[in-house]
Amino acid sequence: MQRIMLRGKLHQARVTHAELNYEGSCAIDQDLLDAVNIREYEQIDIYNIENGERFHTYAISGERGSKMISLNGAAARKAAVGDRIIICAYAPMSEQQIASYDPNLVYLDAENNIVRTSKNIPLQLA
């Protein structure tokens, strides 16, 4: 059996561009893609913290060092510049792979600078 597991996450990224008349996708600063280990053309899920929108698209490389998070094409209708979003990538894994696997979690500030990285999400308390 395989389970679909979180592989990487950019947490609280800020949308810097929304380009309706651009070929669809999400352009992400190549430094951020490297930090979270998302490859160009890989499927990603985007969760808009501001309005609850959740959708699939794919990542493309944005200018290295630009801090760019650009929603393009139809995705540009799902968020406004300045919105906080979560960008996730998932992968199928066997129970054996899961036993020794931790996701790449990258936390960003309001300017899309990396403030910390982690391999686990803190336990949520009641």
pLDDT(121) > 90: no
100 catalytic, yes or no? no
Q: What local confidence, expressed as pLDDT, does residue 125 receive? A: 87
Q: Is 91 annotated as a binding residue?
A: no
Confidence of residue 123 (pLDDT cuts 50, 70, 90): confident
69-72: strand order across its sheet:
17-19, 69-72, 25-29, 54-62, 43-48, 84-94, 2-14, 104-108, 114-118
Spot the catalytic one: 22, 47, 58, 101: 58
61-100 pLDDT, tens digit per residue, is 999 999 999 999 999 999 999 999 999 999 999 999 999 9
Identify the pLDDT of residue 60: 97
pLDDT tops 80 at residue 24? no
Is the per-residue pLDDT at 114 higher than 90?
yes
Residue 75 in marked binding region: yes
Residue 99, marked binder = no
Q: Is 74 annotated as a binding residue?
A: yes
Is 25 marked active-site?
A: yes
